[in-house]
């Protein structure tokens, strides 16, 4: 299906277990309608990656994910060569077989960006945690997003997108992205959800969960996020904590589901943050 309105986007994402707020639904709709990349920024754990996954499922599209990391380059992102097969081809030639072009299409290893360009079907291209890449790769992405094309010199040509992918970039804002990349994209900041919306997310992801657990876990998470912690719980931790409380009805005993740093656990317990919860 192709959403024809912001309301359609809201219903489509909610149907995949990701009820969005109005601002996010509007940004996604505009990305679809204008065929522009969408940059989602926010703290780790607020559900940026899940937007792309839910959108791909709702659209019946193929999800292709490029996970960015320090040192990523075009060989990780676009294409590489199957060196083992090339070596075998060389040995076969030395043994008397006909010589083969070692940089022919049969030796090409397609990475996520090239896969997205060559896909015939609708693709949601997720470029995850782009802030972890360096400036050089960010500059390459800027060029890629302008034309949705890449040049493969060894094959003597350029690969143009057969069908423009719906592109979602995410950033945890560990560093500032360049203005040029931001100008290339629509932009939306995803914050932690309000307790009311988080309760809706928990109900959607855990059908049949008791309202008592929903109320307790969302109130507890709100208290934790108000503290100065090394790593506050994300939405995923809230959902898992609700599941855990269904098995062990004790907030303190299950606190390790939500908090993953020893100092955070100690601080919360020493201050009695969840007392009476």
- Helix, strand, coil share of the chain (percent; to 5): 50, 15, 35
With helix as H, strand as E and coil as C, how does 226-253 read? CCCCCCCCCHHHHHHHHHHHHHCCCCCC
Contact 252, 246 (CB under 8 A): no
pTM: 0.89
- What's the mean pLDDT in 138-164? 92
Give the pLDDT confidence of 207-221 residue by residue, as tens digits.
999 999 999 999 999
Q: Read off the pLDDT band of 276 (50, 70, 90).
A: low
Res. 166: pLDDT tops 90? yes
Kindly state the tokens that stand for 213.
């657990």
pLDDT averaged over every residue in the chain: 94
- What's the mean pLDDT in 226-230? 95
Indicate the SS3 state at residue 113.
Answer: helix
- What's the mean pLDDT in 74-102? 87
From CA 128, how far away is CA 170, in angstroms rounded? 5
From CA 259, how far away is CA 231, in angstroms rounded? 7
pLDDT for residue 236: 94
Res. 277: pLDDT tops 70? no
Domains, the chain? 6-189 (3.40.50.300), 195-268 (no CATH)
Residue 14's Cβ-side half-sphere holds a number of Cα atoms within 13 Å equal to: 16
Give the pLDDT confidence of 10-46 residue by residue, as tens digits.
999 999 989 999 999 999 999 999 999 999 999 999 9
Query: Of the candidates 217, 274, 260, which has an alpha carbon nearest to the alpha carbon of residue 242?
Result: 217
Give the pLDDT confidence of 103-147 residue by residue, as tens digits.
888 889 999 999 999 999 999 999 999 999 999 999 999 999 999
Q: Read off the pLDDT band of 1 (50, 70, 90).
A: low
Kindly state the tokens that stand for 12.
């489509």
């Amino acid at each position: 299906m192709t959403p024809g309105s912001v309301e359609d986007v809201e219903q489509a994402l909610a149907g995949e277990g990701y009820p969005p707020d109005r601002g996010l639904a509007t940004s996604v709709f505009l990305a679809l309608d204008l065929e522009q990349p969408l940059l989602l920024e926010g703290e780790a754990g607020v559900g940026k990656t899940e937007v792309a996954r839910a959108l791909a499922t709702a659209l019946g599209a193929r999800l292709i994910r490029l996970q960015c990391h320090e040192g990523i380059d075009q060989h990780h992102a676009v294409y590489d060569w199957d060196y083992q097969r090339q070596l075998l081809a060389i040995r076969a030639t030395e043994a008397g077989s006909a010589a083969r072009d070692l940089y022919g299409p049969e030796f090409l290893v397609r990475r996520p960006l090239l896969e997205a360009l060559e896909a015939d079907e609708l693709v949601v291209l997720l470029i995850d945690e782009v802030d972890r890449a360096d400036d050089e790769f960010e500059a390459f992405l800027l060029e890629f997003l302008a034309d949705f094309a890449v040049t493969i010199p060894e094959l003597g040509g350029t690969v143009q997108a057969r069908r423009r992918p719906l592109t979602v970039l995410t950033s945890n804002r560990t560093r500032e992205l360049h203005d040029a990349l931001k100008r290339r994209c629509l932009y939306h900041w995803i914050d932690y959800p309000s307790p009311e919306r988080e309760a809706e997310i928990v109900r959607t992801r855990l059908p049949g969960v008791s309202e008592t657990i929903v109320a307790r876990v969302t109130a507890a998470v709100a208290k934790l996020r108000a503290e100065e912690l090394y790593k506050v719980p994300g939405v995923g931790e809230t959902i898992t904590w609700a599941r855990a409380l269904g098995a062990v009805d004790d907030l303190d005993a299950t606190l390790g589901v939500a908090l993953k740093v020893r100092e955070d656990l100690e601080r919360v317990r020493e201050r009695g943050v969840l007392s009476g919860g």
